[in-house]
Amino acid sequence: MKKISALFVLIIITFTFAAVFAMSKAPAEDFTKTDGWKKIDLRAKGAWMDYKSGKTKSRGLEFTIKTTHRLDKSELADLKDAGFKKRTTIGKIMTGSAKTKNLPEVANLEFMEAMELAVPMSFKKR
């Protein structure tokens, strides 16, 4: 009898932990339904959709971004933590790169106003 009750208690504890663990995992938010989606340009949206559909792997993309204000050190750290590698800064405008998989984290930052994929310059001789 003691073995059965001990087994029963063990099963209840296992299911309780499993239920708590399942509830603690929040479902991933759909990036296309966030404010960040509205901040990126059409080419960045296409790169995201190709990545999500499996057509392409996460790759480094070059961006020009505009923020709502000149960023302080903590906001620059937030930008870096989100996956954006900053290069040039002129006031509220920055250039840099981010991987496709980090696009939602970068675009959804509160201070982000707009993100555009950079257009490669041509090196044609005239």
Tell me the per-residue pLDDT of 22-74, one tens digit each, with 9 for 90 and over: 544 444 579 999 999 999 999 999 999 999 999 999 999 999 999 999 999 99
Residue 122 in any domain: the answer is: no
68-113: pLDDT as tens digits: 999 999 999 999 999 999 999 999 999 999 999 999 999 999 999 9
- CA angle, 102 then 108 then 110, to 5°: 135
Residue 94 lies in a domain: yes
Q: How far apart are CA 8 and CA 110, in angstroms?
A: 49
CATH number at residue 69: 3.30.70.2980
Cα–Cα distance measured from residue 73 to residue 118, given in angstroms and rounded to the nearest whole number: 25
Does residue 10 lie within any of the structural domains?
no
- Domain ranges, residue 98: 31-117
Query: The whole model's pTM is what?
Result: 0.71
- Asked if residue 6 is part of any domain, the answer here is no
Q: Could you tell me if residue 82 is inside a domain?
A: yes
